[in-house]
Structure 1
Amino acid sequence: MQNIVMVVFAVVYVGMVLGGLPGLAVNRSGIAVLGAVALLAFGVLDSRQAWASVDMPTMSLLFGLMLVSAQLRLGGFYTFMARRIAKADLPAPWLLLLVMAAGGALSAVLVNDIVCLAMTPILVEGCLRRRLNPMPFLLGLACSSNIGSAATLIGNPQNMLIGQVGGLPFGAFLLDALPPVTASLLAGWGVIAYVHRGDWNLERHSAPAPAVEFRAWPTAKGCLLMAAALAGFLWLDVPREVVALTVGGFVLLSRKTESQAVFSLVDWQLLLLFLGLFVVNHAVAEVGVLGDMFAGLRGLGVAPEQPVWLFALTAGLSNVISNVPAVMLLLPVCASPQDKLLLALVSTLAGNLFLLGSIANLIVAEQAARMGVFMTWRRHLRVGVPVTLVSFACAALWLWLRWTSLQVAAG
């Protein structure tokens, strides 16, 4: 059985690295599901064990927040925000700061992938209307959505997983993560503004892009529900997944918006990726493969429990196999809340290093390409590397200060 699990694990995580399997039209979500199916087919797990391995609180939290974000998309909230930002009468560098502040703030309370999906076309439209080069603003949106999503336990899927499995308090995590996230956003803005100095304007403009019409009541309903969810996370002694599902249930209570329209905006592929990886990682843990891997690392002098090595492993694995699989692998060695804070910050900030480092980056690139604006990996790399390095520096400094203060307080 152990050999079967090792082969399945290797194939699944090679697929995470490559984004697919050679010769097959299968993506990361499909690979994760196939891995889980293979474990069932070979009798490594039965169906009850497979379902029991899925962390339903995490899945429920993610699903509930996707429903709220779908409500905001259907109401045209993102269109409204992007157009207001693009019309702001500000010099280009300050407009970039506004874009990044809005992208970071929205991504902290809504799933960052959805923020990028909804805002990119309207941001490109606004830039082209003003004859501004969209590239620095698109890079700013991608980078800020990754950075901003690190601020809360609901900003991105890996943070949701860490918060749910680790039992972290919402408010305490926010207070811990906000300083390095804010510093990283400001530093990232400085990097992008410097790299694109003198490259703000275009000689041409384009026709406006189609967008979801702004509707006041659906948007107001979505904002009220999101505010209710945040209040519940902060002040109610109720599991976060219950709050999210309850709020999501109110999204479906509508006389005009059909449930089908809401469900069509749920990222089912992301949910399936989580489901498959939960099953695969559970099997790996059950047969001792994961323990053997960490024991092998310790034999090489690499102790994942030590903050420096945990930082390095998280940064590396997040760019090799993607951040969600990396977090699933490393979460078992994170014993303290500070370890989990490190894992959340670094796995998220690492997404800015390469264009393929996060789904949010790819969404911005693909949406922009449909409008004739091409974010190549080279263009992204010019900004991604320095933004990631300064973000890592901000996070490392803050984590060191936090650990030092805790040690002093402990006497």
Structure 2
Amino acid sequence: MELTLVIFFLVYLAMGLGSLPFFRVGRTGAAVIGGMAMLTIGSITPRQAWNAIDYSTMGMLFGLMVVSAAFVVSGFYGWLASKAASSNVSERALLAILIVVGGVMAAFLTNDVVAVSMCPLLLSITLARGLNPVPFLLGFCFAANTGAAGTIIGSPQNIIAAQKLNLSFAGMSAITAIPALMSLPVIWLVITFLYRNRWKLAAPAGSGEDAGQAPAPPPFSLGETLKAAFTAIIVVFAFIFSDWPRETVALTAAGFLLLSRRISSKSLLHEVDGELILLIMGLFIVNAGLAATGLPQHLVTGLAAEGIDLNNPPILFLISSVISDLVGNNPAVMMLVPYLHSEGDANYLGAALSLGTHFSSNLVVFGSDVLP
């Protein structure tokens, strides 16, 4: 049991710090090594490790990543970033545009892919215009975090919670959509105040050749963008109005998008965050190894006896907020969700997890995968 606790502690220490101290091992590496270590010391058997991975969650996550990646390879993200950042508006108006774009897109197209795809382009464009890129990047990323809280498909942690708790798309959005939307003007007000006299660079960055210019995005294809948009809309409608398994819907959409005569499947799969998928699979095994000791169950029971019930939405909101700032939002949700068993409407628990982890993750740079 002692070795199991040590492995668990080291893995989540890496989640919090971003790497394992004294080693060149990042979060994904720590999760994979931790999962293998649990098998090696016998914390769980290979069969238990296999069963610990929630393949419906992984299937839904992979499928939705492909749907979001389709907007990358179609050139839509690049076209949108260029249009937004090069518009002839004031700095404050430009910040507002980017916040709205980031928040709305992240709610329906996994926030990790949206941020990774658009931030390098925004950096290059703002530098070329002689603007300080920091407030614009912060505004976009903060909005991608809080906007993603609005739906069950806005982020990987929401997908994990949705599958584990069987959340309703419309049911959870009815609770989280308004707070997510209200967060956007708050982000604009805070950043506008903090950077009110720092919109410009001290010296123009010129063409951007030596100032962080991003690689050229794929050329914009209206046909492929419409195909991706049509697929995304069908997926959302299926989540809301059908009882089909969500992982089947997402994987079917991914298969449809991968079947193309114009865009290679290799370029589409290249945009899928394989490291995040490995990290989540590793954490499933690490968490299962700890659960096999019985300690988490005793801890949850003890907390409930002291009046700290994880199945109470306000308490869950506070606890998930704190844990997400310590280890990151995806690990926080994976740590908490196995011990949530709502006797009422699980959507309130899902909303507490979503709002807690998304909103608090803007406080520290390692609280979210979007910010680093």
Return the TM-score normalized by structure 1. 0.83
The structure with the greater share of residues assigned to helix is 1
Equivalence map 1:313-328=2 (5 Å): 313-328=319-334
- Residue 315 of structure 1: CA displacement? 1.2
Tell me how far 1:134 sits from its aligned partner: 1.9
Distance in 2 separating the partners of 1:293 and 1:339: 19
Structure 1: gaps spanning 5 or more residues:
363-411
Q: How many residues are aligned here? A: 361
Deviations 1:24-65 (A, max 9, x none): 221111111112111222233222221111111110011001
Q: What is the correspondence of 1:2-401 to structure 2 with a 5 Å cutoff?
A: 2-202=1-201, 203-208=203-208, 209=213, 210-212=215-217, 213-297=219-303, 302-331=308-337, 332-333=339-340, 335=342, 336-362=346-372
In the TM superposition, what is the alpha-carbon distance from 1:286 to its structure 2 partner? 2.8
SS at match of 1:177: helix
Q: CA deviation at 1:307?
A: 4.0
Q: Distance in 2 between matches of 1:318 and 1:309?
A: 14
* CA–CA separation in structure 1 for the residues paired with 2:91 and 2:9: 47
State the distance in 1 between where 2:33 and 2:250 align.
29
Identity among equivalent positions (%) equals 37
Q: Counterpart of 2:239 in 1: which secondary structure?
A: helix
Secondary structure of 1:204's counterpart equals coil
Give me the whole-angstrom Cα distance separating, in 2, the residues matched to 1:133 and 1:14: 34
**Separation (CA, whole Å) in 2 of partners of 1:149 and 1:78:** 17
Amino acid at match of 2:288: H
Residue 334 of structure 1, CA deviation: 5.2
Deviations 1:333-386 (CA, angstroms, capped at 9, x unpaired): 352431221111111111100122211111xxxxxxxxxxxxxxxxxxxxxxxx
CA distance in 2, matches of 1:234, 1:214: 30
One-letter amino acid of the counterpart of residue 38, structure 2: L
Q: Check conservation: 1:92, 1:200, Cα contact below 8 A.
A: yes
- Displacement of 1:283: 2.5
The one-letter amino acid paired with 1:46 is T
Distance in 1, matches of 2:206 and 2:301, equals 57
Instruction: Give the gaps of 5 or more residues in structure 2.
Output: none
Q: Matched residue of 2:263: which SS?
A: coil
- Equivalent pair of 1:311/1:342 in contact (CA under 8 Å): yes
The separation in 2 between residues aligned to 1:173 and 1:295, in whole angstroms, is 27
Cα deviation for residue 116 of structure 1 reads: 1.2
Verify the 8 A CA contact 1:125 1:206 in the aligned structure 2: no
User: How big is the shift at 1:259?
Assistant: 2.0
CA contact (8 A) 2:145 2:370 kept: yes
Instruction: Kindly provide the amino acid, as one letter, of the partner of residue 333 in structure 1.
Output: L
For residue 204 of structure 1, what is the amino acid of its counterpart? P
Q: Is the 8 A contact 2:18 2:366 kept in 1?
A: no
Separation of aligned partners in 1, 2:287 and 2:63 = 24
Q: For the structure 1 residues 26 and 129, does the alpha-carbon distance in structure 2 shift closer, same or farther, using more than 3 Å as the test? A: closer
Q: Secondary structure at the match of 2:361?
A: helix
Return the offset for 1:108: 0.6
- Aligned counterparts of 1:352 and 1:178: Cα–Cα separation in 2: 18
User: Residues 205, 18 of structure 1: CA spacing in aligned structure 2 closer, same or farther, 3 A cutoff?
Assistant: closer
Distance in 2 (CA, whole Å) between partners of 1:272 and 1:27 is 12
| Mapped partners of 2:313, 2:158: distance in 1 | 18
Q: Using the alignment, how far apart are the partners of 1:312 and 1:234 within structure 2?
A: 29
Which stretch of structure 1 is more off in the superposition, 316-325 or 83-92?
83-92
Change (3 A) 1:334 1:136: farther
**Superposition CA RMSD, Å:** 1.9
Contact 1:6-1:289 within 8 A present in 2 as well: no
Describe the SS at the equivalent of 1:71.
helix
Question: Cα offset for 1:144?
Answer: 0.4
Q: Does the Cα contact within 8 Å between 1:152 and 1:177 map onto a contact in 2?
A: yes
* Contact 2:239–2:246 (8 Å) recurs in 1: yes
Counterpart CA distance in 2 for 1:97 and 1:76 is 23
**Distance in 2 of aligned mates of 1:136 and 1:58:** 34
Shift of residue 310 of structure 1? 2.3
Which amino acid letter does the alignment assign opposite residue 106 of structure 1?
M
- Equivalent-residue separation in structure 2 for 1:206 and 1:225 (angstroms): 40
For 2:155 and 2:305, the matched residues in 1 are separated by 34
CA distance in 1, matches of 2:46, 2:310: 32
What is the CA–CA distance in structure 1 between the aligned matches of 2:21 and 2:129, rounded to whole Å? Answer: 44
Query: Residues 257-280 of structure 1, C-alpha deviation per residue, up to 9 Å, x if partnerless?
Result: 222222222111100111011112
In 1, the alpha carbon distance for the partners of 2:295 and 2:324 equals: 20
TM-score (norm 2): 0.91
Deviations 1:159-217 (A, max 9, x none): 00111111011112112111101111111111111111132233514325332122222
Shift in Å, 1:308 = 4.2
